Amino acid sequence: PAQVQARGLAVQTLVRVEQRNLLAERVAAELRARNDFEKAPGVVRRFLTGPWSQVLAQARLEVSDASPVSPADSPALRYSDILPDLLWSSQLALASLNRPRLVKVIPGVLRTLREGLDSIDYPREKTESFFQALMGLHEAAYKTQRSEPAPHDEPPSVQHELDDEPWMQRTEARDSCLMDDSFTDGPSTQVSTQPAFLETRPLQRDWADLKAEMAGQGAQVLPVGTWVDVLQDGQAMRWQITWASPHGTLFLFTGANGRSLSMTKRGLERLLEQDRLRVVAHHGVVDEALDEVARQAWINSSRS
């Protein structure tokens, strides 16, 4: 029962993660469409289309579940309202021309940014790293004198600003048993001693073709029921795909002992690239045996 409950929690968590990430992609597109977005420094643009889009997405998802609040107290509204001040204050050429406004808006912007990042449990070290970069921009704008030539911002970066890896909070990674090297307390410590069992036959497959199919078709290439061997801690562990998210970005595996393991689509692709994941069968020998029993029963009934 405990394993069934854990699997239910994992599925529920993964559904929420995919829903938030899909909404965050739309939020990021909205942010890029702003007139003041492209002139902001690259570090600010990457922050907005990365963690801050997750903050806005989660706040919007929580609106329907929250008790009625006044517009001024809505986190989703507060997190959006600081965007003009954040983008303006990060542009040296503009912020340096109005130091009184800069001094006035900085405390509120920093306070709201920290509140939003805390709401998604964003790693503290990454939060402080961004704050240092942002405060460096603010300091440079404040120290620039009116008599000096207006400084020029760096040209917009062409670097892709969104990671294709779905964002998860640490609690979500734990609840969904995410296989990720960045979470040392994850499921890798739970399954390292699980023995592989030999009831399936290796499936001959060209891995380059499989990866190309995954890129185009998502979860359809590795359907629910597929058995895979995952090389983990130097040992091959056998898992079966027992659930895939509606959009094919997240997968849930179940081991022989009933424990669960989740993985992102990008994580699957990485394991394939590293030759750490191999498909051994699209269904187990138990399924084949049941099919054979049914076939034999049909033959026997037709003869009688």
Per-residue pLDDT of the chain (304 residues; tens, 9 = 90+): 788 888 889 999 999 999 999 999 999 999 999 999 999 999 999 999 999 999 999 999 988 665 555 555 689 999 999 999 999 999 999 999 999 999 999 999 999 999 999 999 999 999 999 999 999 999 999 888 654 554 444 444 444 444 567 889 999 999 998 986 543 333 333 333 333 333 444 444 454 555 555 555 444 467 888 888 888 777 888 899 999 998 889 999 998 778 889 999 888 888 888 888 888 876 654 455 555 555 666 666 666 5
Q: Please, which residues have CB within 8 angstroms of residue 18's CB and are 6 or more apart in sequence? A: 166, 245, 246, 247, 249, 250
Q: Please, which residues have CB within 8 angstroms of residue 174's CB and are 6 or more apart in sequence? A: 183, 185, 186
The topology (CATH level 3) of 177-289 is SH3 type barrels. (2.30.30)
End-to-end CA distance of the chain: 44
Domain with CATH 2.30.30.30 in the chain: 177-289
Torsion from C-alpha of 176, 178, 184, 186, nearest 10 degrees: 40
Residue with tokens 């090389």: 231
- Rounded-to-integer distance, Cα 196 and Cα 74, Å: 51
AA letter at 212 = A
